[in-house]
Amino acid sequence: MGRLVWLLLFLCTATGVSSFSASTASSNVKVKENEGVDLTCSYSADFGSSPRVEWKFKDKKGSQTYVVFDGKPTSSYSTRVSMYSGSNLRFSKVTRQDNGEYTCEVSSSSSQFAQVTVVLTVLVAPSIPKCGIPQTVTTNGAATLTCYDPDSSPPPTYKWYKDDTLLPADPNKISGFKNATYKLDSTTGMLVFPSATKMDTGMYYCEVINEAGPAQRCRAEKMEVRDINAGGIAAGVIIALLLVALVIGAVWYAKKKGYLPKKSQR
């Protein structure tokens, strides 16, 4: 028996295997905004009865900060965060700014270390999105329609409608849209027409959807695709040339009649 224990210890040392570990009851936690939530962290018995436990938070931008340091909530979290059962984290209320990764780090006096990460998603229902829809577009010109909801959590799925008809994200797969030339990104909300035609004229609006609440949409706006007014452009050029000729003629006449001062008089 003694030889077996010695052999197991030898194998653990040789292979770098350690029994020191940390775990959580749920690695992905979702909760509605302004509600409370628990993030759990447990560790193996070989850490002893009172290891050092710290919690760190990393937001969506990658910025990291301490939530619990040396077993106590930091000042920015002290009013709504507490520890229970030695290593678990409890929020009395969460906001959308709490979205991100929470890492529980456990260490012993003998420098043994283990960690586990919990992803927290704060559920925020969609709000009315901000839409950018051009009123007029030149035939064969490019047009970009934008849709954005800064509040939804998790990030919403964007849908576009033309004349109350849903535009499929991949028109090539739908028989009625095979001739469509638009490109739709359901994750960014952008609807792009690389070369707009008169068939693209219509009433457009965007809808945002996520799991936190009912869908929201912006007000429908008309986008009209028009041909270039060649006659109007030609008339504008002619009028501009006539104005230039008129100015030149007026200056020549004024100079001839002596209305303009000579260089010496200037």
- 158-198 residue pLDDT tens: 999 999 999 999 888 888 888 888 999 999 999 999 999 99
Percentage of residues of the chain with pLDDT beyond 70 = 84
Decide if pLDDT at 255 tops 90: no
Cα–chain center distance at 93 = 23
Cα angle, residue 28 at apex, residues 123 and 85 outer, rounded to 5°? 105
pLDDT at 5: 34
Is pLDDT at 263 greater than 80 in this prediction? no
The pLDDT tens digits of the residues spanning 188-229 come to: 999 999 999 999 999 999 999 999 999 999 999 999 999 875
Percent of the chain beyond pLDDT 90?
66
Per-residue pLDDT tens for 123-153? 999 999 999 999 999 999 999 999 999 999 9
- The 3-state DSSP class for residue 197 equals coil
By the 8 A CB rule, do 223 and 143 touch? yes
In terms of Cα–Cα distance, which of 168, 160, 243, 251 is closest to 206?
160
Under 8 Å between Cβ of 122 and 99? yes
- What is the C-alpha to C-alpha distance for residues 71 and 56, in angstroms, rounded to an integer? 12
pLDDT of residue 176: 82
- Whether 180 contacts 171, CB under 8 Å: yes
Closest CA to 31 of 183, 153, 185, 158: 153
223 vs 7 pLDDT, higher one: 223
pLDDT for the residue 237: 66
Give the dihedral of Cα atoms 37, 39, 45, 50; nearest 10 deg.
-80
How do residues 9-27 score in pLDDT, each as one tens digit? Answer: 344 444 444 578 999 999 9
- Write the single-letter amino acid at 55: W
| Contact of 107 with 44, CB cutoff 8 Å | no
**Residue predicted with more confidence, 5 or 181:** 181
* pLDDT surpassing 70 at residue 83: yes
Q: Average pLDDT, whole number, for the chain?
A: 87
Range from 27-36, 91-100, 103-112, 154-163 carrying the lowest mean pLDDT: 103-112
